[in-house]
Amino acid sequence: MMKRILILCVLLVVSAYLAVAVTLFNAKPAGQVCRGIELTIKDSIDYDFITLKDVNALLKRKGLSPADKPLDKINIRQLEEALSHQPFIAEAECYLTSSGKVAIDIYQRIPLLRVMSNNGDTYYLDHAGQILPVSGKPVHVAVATGFIDRKFAQDQLYQLGKYLQTDAFWNAQIEQINVTPRQELELVPRVGNQILFLGKAEDYQEKFRKLQTFYTEALSQVGWNKYERISVEFNNQIICTKKEK
C-alpha cells in the first residue's frame, strides 16, 4: 500500500514539473524582444521558391515583421495567416523558440507541369492541381504547350502529369506534351526524334504500357530514330511512320 502511494506521489510531482516546464517554455517574457526569424523548408529545398528574404519582405510589407517586437505582442496565428496567402506556400507553422526567435516551418507548393498555352496563358500546375504563377526561378518539369484552357489543364493534364511523375521510366523520358486543336496529345521524348501520339487523354496507362514494351523490345533493335511518329491512339495496335530518307 505504501509503495503504491509513493509511486502515486512521484507521478504527481513529475506531472506538476512537466506542466510548469511547458508553461515556462511557451511563455512570452514581458519586455523580451524578438531576435529574428528561423526559417525551415520542410519539403524539398531543390525548388527554393521561398527564402528568408522573401518571408521577411512579405511580413514587413503587411506590417507584421516580428523583428525587435516584444515577444508577448507577437500574434503567431496572424503570421501563419499572412504567410498562407503567399502563392508558393502550401502551409506555414509559426512558433516562438527558447532563444527568443520566431521559427517558421514552411511547406511549399511544388510544380507538376509548366503550361504554355497558345493563347499566351503561362503558369505551373502544382501537385494539388491548382494554378501556380510562374516565378523567376526555373523549375525542371515537363512542359505542356498548344491549345490548352485552364479547365483542360486542371482536369486532363493534371492527371497525366501525376501519372508521369509516379512512373520512373516516363518521368525520365517525356519533356514536352503538345495539345492539338482537337485536344489530342502529342509527346516529345528526351531520347529520339519521334513524336509519340496518344490521341485523346484517356486510357493513357494502357497506352504507356504498350509504348514502353515497344521501346524496350522494338526500338532497341531497329534504332531510336527510325520512326518520326509512333501512334498508340487505337486499342491493340501501334502505328509507326518511318522517316523519309
Tell me: the pLDDT tens digits for 199-244? 998 888 888 988 888 888 877 677 667 788 989 888 778 888 887 7
Please report how the helices 52-61 and 76-84 are oriented relative to each other, as an axis angle in degrees rounded to 10. 110
Instruction: Single out the residue of 231, 226, 148, 223 nearest to residue 196, CA to CA.
Output: 231
- pLDDT recorded at residue 24: 47
Q: Position of cell 529520339?
A: 192
Residue ranges per structural domain of the chain: 37-108, 111-242
What is the band of 7 on the pLDDT scale with cuts at 50, 70, 90? low
CB 239 within 8 A of CB 195: no
Mean pLDDT for the stretch of residues 120-148: 90
Q: Hey, what CATH topology would domain 111-242 get?
A: Rossmann fold (3.40.50)
Provide the mean pLDDT of the chain.
Answer: 84
Please determine, for residue 22, whether its predicted confidence score (pLDDT) is greater than 50: no
pLDDT, tens digit, for every residue of 143-196? 999 999 999 999 999 999 999 988 988 988 999 999 999 999 999 998 778 899
Distances (CA, A) of 113 to 131, 179, 205: 10, 14, 18
CB 143 within 8 A of CB 113: yes
CATH of domain 37-108: 3.10.20
Query: What is the C-alpha separation between 213 and 46, in angstroms, rounded?
Result: 33
Please determine, for residue 30, whether its predicted confidence score (pLDDT) is greater than 60: no
Please name the residue ranges forming H helices in the chain.
Answer: 2-26, 52-61, 76-84, 150-152, 158-166, 168-173, 204-214, 220-222
